[in-house]
Amino acid sequence: ARPSYAGHLTPVDVEEIGRELDALRERVLESRGARDAAYIRRVIAVQRGLELGGRAILLFGRSRSAWVVGTTSLSLAKILENMEI
- On whether both 22 and 37 belong to a single domain, the answer is no
Length of the chain, please?
Answer: 85
Q: Average of pLDDT values for 75-84?
A: 96
- On whether both 38 and 52 belong to a single domain, the answer is yes
- On whether both 38 and 21 belong to a single domain, the answer is no
- On whether both 11 and 46 belong to a single domain, the answer is no
- On whether both 59 and 84 belong to a single domain, the answer is yes
Domain count, the chain: 2
> In the prediction, which pLDDT does 5 show?
67
pLDDT in tens, 51-79: 999 999 999 999 999 999 999 999 999 99
Given pLDDT bands bounded at 50, 70 and 90, which one contains residue 2? low
**d(C-alpha 14, C-alpha 24), whole Å:** 15
pTM assigned to the model: 0.71
Classify each residue of 1-15 as buried b or exposed e, where b means 16 or more C-beta atoms within 10 Å of its C-beta.
eeeeeeeeeeeeeee
pLDDT in tens, 7-57: 788 889 989 999 999 999 999 999 999 999 999 999 999 999 999 999 999
> In the prediction, which pLDDT does 6 show?
67
Structural domain harbouring 3: 1-31
